[in-house]
Amino acid sequence: TMKDLKGEKRIDGDLSIGNFAIDGQRFGNINADAAWDMEQRRLLVGGALSDAGGSKTTFGGYIDPSAFYMDLDAEATHQDVQFLKLFLSGVFSELAGTFSGKMHLEGRLNSPKWYGKLGLENAQLTVRPTKATYIVNDTLEFSENRILFNNILGSDGENGTARLNGSIWHRNFKE
């Protein structure tokens, strides 16, 4: 912990993570910065996740450590749909393609609520029970503790189509 000239605790810094990965899936490089807001007594954060393929996800907001609370906004541009595998692997066995959209996370650090819409871009989704693969250019909606599939249209590449309606309920994406 560092202190400023008034003796107040202060945290400022930059963070870079090369080859950021989750469960062995590489997503790119993270560059972020943080600064302590002394009046509000919270950590202001901002940064981006990007890769050589041109995908980019920017994020910004704050973390209040004393309240164990976060409020962050993120915007993804052509992000690899493999990131969604973390949330959708129970329904889809294979995912390929990209997504773009805006998300908002707020709530307790260990159980934030997710809100927003992500547009799937030529995403190939293989439905686990049927093993059928569909190409999707449609929108997933995140609302608190569920992912909504509202009349999502998929095509199988052979003039067949399917519509997906329903939702996936979760407890912080763990159950």
**Residue 152 buriedness (CB in 10 A; 0-12 / 13-18 / 19+):** buried
Per-residue pLDDT of 24-66, as tens digits, reads 778 889 999 999 888 899 999 999 999 888 889 999 999 999 9
Rg of the chain (C-alpha set): 19
pLDDT over threshold 60, residue 1? no
- pLDDT, residue 121, reads 96
- 116 token code pair: 């927003």
- pLDDT, residue 69, reads 97
The residue ranking higher by pLDDT, 90 or 67, is 67
DSSP 8-state class, residue 86: H
- pLDDT, residue 91, reads 84
Kindly write down the DSSP assignment for every residue of 120-158, as one continuous string.
Answer: EEEEEEEETTT--EEEE--EEEEEETEEEEEEEEEE-SS
Average pLDDT value for the chain: 88
pLDDT over threshold 90, residue 8? no
Backbone angles phi, psi at 94, to 5 degrees: -135, 140
| 126 alpha carbon, distance to own chain's centre | 20
Q: How many CB atoms lie within 10 A of CB 16?
A: 11
**Collapsed DSSP state (helix, strand, coil) of residue 83:** helix
**Residue 28 buriedness (CB in 10 A; 0-12 / 13-18 / 19+):** buried
Per-residue pLDDT of 115-136, as tens digits, reads 999 999 999 999 888 899 999 9
